């Protein structure tokens, strides 16, 4: 336990020396928060800088028969019955998101700069996020009813406090370092789910920029029979060293996270007795190479290695983020296994009227908890792909098809289980930029066919217990500011 505390203490020491030499004169006229805000309201407008921005998606979707949701059952490697629930976007993280993300999601960001003097600026940032039920007219704010609202972020952001780095930021509160996303799969290769934390960003050092953060994110560690859970404390250290220019059009980014479990003595005894799973430390490290093209296209290659819970979560069919658990839930008995993952994504244009977007992920893991069955000591291999060729009209609208295929095998308890599937989405989109990853809004008209070729891991079934589904819909994705 002492070495874990040492790692966390050293990470704090790395962050806070940057602040030790800050010019205290810039802050000497600070007063109580209430008095400062009252004066700012009466002060000149130069000290006020309010911003409101956001993102949301929503629309209509219907299946050929029955609900558009799929039913999956997880955890059958540790429990005969497992945990069953409906999912509106089966294997989105392996097949692609076009025509396969029927759930309303939103982010509403409010920020207010309230101090700007002598090279020091400060602002408060609040992010509201959540989901809206698209299956019914129910409008009760309850997660069980499909409507959810939460404060995803709430933090103080400052500039000018780090000597010699006027553009670097220092933040304190509920926040995390910026996410890096595999857009077609709707998951991140760099992202840490956090509660409260503190961090510095964009500190220019050598050929790149350094980001560092520490954060807290406790997990609901389940009982070994999946009948309940208990909350176990966890701290995470995050590092990014990015924007390292290798050539005029190629940049390199390095990334790493280390999650440190901080169980109480009583929780350790329960884990040793086999009552609950043991929450174990985990790490993720990687490198990302990005090449930009003259026609606004790009290609990116990401190489990663992860251990324990992060290795398991990065193997999931749905959201393969580098979390320690499934969202804030932790299942399975880890044993120090590793995952190696390679991911590529990009967008390339052929002339003025044809574009191809792609995402491909390959991985191999040994001695980890299976992300779908929760079976320990599992060996996994997976391949995931999504290709989206499209014709680009003169007004930047697009007509095309998104093709997805994945195959995942897991050797557990002496036998190999397989899961595989295909997706075909025919679409036409109304948009205002040539790039599929350009500025939204975008309106999509689509028809999607999903088929599970094998379902031995998440036991997926569509309406009427079928292994395939046709669904049709219209969706809008909007960013506003």
The tens digit of pLDDT for each residue in 438-450 reads: 767 899 999 999 9
Q: How far is it, in rounded angstroms, from Cα 376 to Cα 413?
A: 8
Phi, psi of 311 (to 5 degrees): -60, -40
In percent, how much of the chain has pLDDT > 90?
71
Residue 111, pLDDT score: 92
- Mean pLDDT over 416-444 rounds to 91
Return the higher-pLDDT residue of 226 and 251: 251
Q: Of how many residues is the chain composed?
A: 481
pTM over 0.85: yes
Q: Residue 134 above 90 pLDDT? A: no
Name 294's Cβ contacts closer than 8 Å, sequence gap at least 6.
Answer: none
Range of 10-14, 316-320, 378-382, 435-439 with top mean pLDDT: 378-382
Name 78's Cβ contacts closer than 8 Å, sequence gap at least 6.
Answer: 224, 225, 226, 331, 332, 373, 374, 375
Query: pLDDT, tens digit, for every residue of 295-311?
Result: 889 999 999 999 999 99
Q: Residue 123 above 70 pLDDT? A: yes
Provide the pLDDT confidence category of residue 143 given band limits of 50, 70 and 90: low
Return the higher-pLDDT residue of 441 and 378: 378
Provide the pLDDT confidence category of residue 434 given band limits of 50, 70 and 90: confident
- Mean pLDDT over 381-398 rounds to 95
248 sits in the region (left: phi over 0; alpha: psi -120 to 50; else beta) called alpha
User: Which of 464, 469, 421 has its CA nearest to residue 448?
Assistant: 469
Average pLDDT of the chain is 88
Q: Please answer whether residues 181 and 211 qualify as being in contact, where contact means their C-beta atoms are separated by less than 8 angstroms.
A: no
């Amino acid at each position: 336990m002492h070495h874990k505390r040492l790692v966390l203490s050293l990470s704090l020491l790395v962050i806070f020396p940057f602040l030790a030499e800050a010019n205290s004169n810039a802050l000497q006229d600070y007063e109580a928060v209430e008095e400062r805000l009252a004066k700012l309201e009466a002060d000149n407008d130069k000290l006020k800088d309010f911003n409101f921005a956001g993102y949301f998606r929503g629309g209509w979707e219907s299946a050929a028969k029955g609900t558009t949701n799929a039913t999956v059952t997880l955890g059958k490697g540790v429990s005969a019955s497992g945990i069953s629930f409906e999912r509106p976007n089966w294997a989105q993280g392996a097949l692609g998101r076009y025509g396969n993300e029927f759930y309303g999601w939103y982010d509403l960001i409010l920020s207010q700069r309230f101090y700007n003097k002598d090279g020091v600026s400060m602002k408060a940032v609040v992010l509201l996020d959540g989901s809206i039920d698209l299956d019914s007219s129910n409008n009760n704010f309850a997660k069980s009813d499909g409507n959810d609202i939460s404060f995803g972020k709430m933090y103080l952001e400052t500039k000018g406090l780090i000597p010699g780095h006027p553009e670097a930021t220092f933040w304190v509160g509920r926040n995390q370092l910026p996410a890096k996303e595999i857009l077609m799969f709707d998951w991140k290769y760099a992202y840490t789910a956090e509660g409260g934390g503190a961090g510095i960003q964009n500190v220019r050092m050598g050929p790149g920029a350094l980001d560092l953060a520490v954060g807290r994110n406790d997990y609901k560690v389940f009982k070994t029979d999946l009948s309940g859970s208990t909350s176990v404390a966890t701290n995470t250290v995050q590092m990014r060293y990015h924007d390292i220019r290798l050539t005029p059009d190629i940049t390199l980014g390095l990334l790493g996270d280390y999650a440190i479990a901080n169980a109480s003595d009583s929780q350790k005894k329960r884990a040793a007795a086999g009552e609950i799973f043991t929450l174990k430390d985990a790490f993720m490290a990687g490198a990302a190479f990005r090449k930009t093209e003259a026609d606004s296209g790009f290609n990116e290659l990401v190489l990663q290695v992860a251990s324990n819970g992060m290795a398991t979560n990065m193997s999931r069919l749905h959201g393969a983020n580098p979390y320690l658990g499934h969202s804030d839930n932790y299942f399975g008995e880890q044993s120090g296994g590793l995952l190696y993952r390679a991911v590529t994504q990009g967008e390339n244009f052929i002339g003025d009227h044809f574009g191809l977007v792609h995402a491909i992920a390959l991985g191999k893991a040994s001695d980890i908890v299976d992300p779908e069955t929760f079976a320990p000591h599992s060996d996994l291999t997976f391949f995931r792909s999504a290709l989206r060729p499209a014709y680009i009209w003169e007004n930047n609208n697009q007509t095309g098809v998104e093709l997805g295929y994945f195959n995942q095998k897991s050797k557990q308890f002496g036998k190999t289980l397989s899961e595989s599937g295909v997706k075909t989405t025919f679409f036409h989109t109304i948009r205002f930029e040539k790039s599929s990853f350009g500025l939204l809004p975008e309106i999509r008209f689509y028809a999607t066919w999903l088929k599970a070729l094998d379902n031995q891991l998440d036991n997926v079934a569509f309406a009427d217990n079928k292994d395939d589904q046709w669904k049709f819909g219209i969706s809008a994705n909007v960013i506003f500011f």
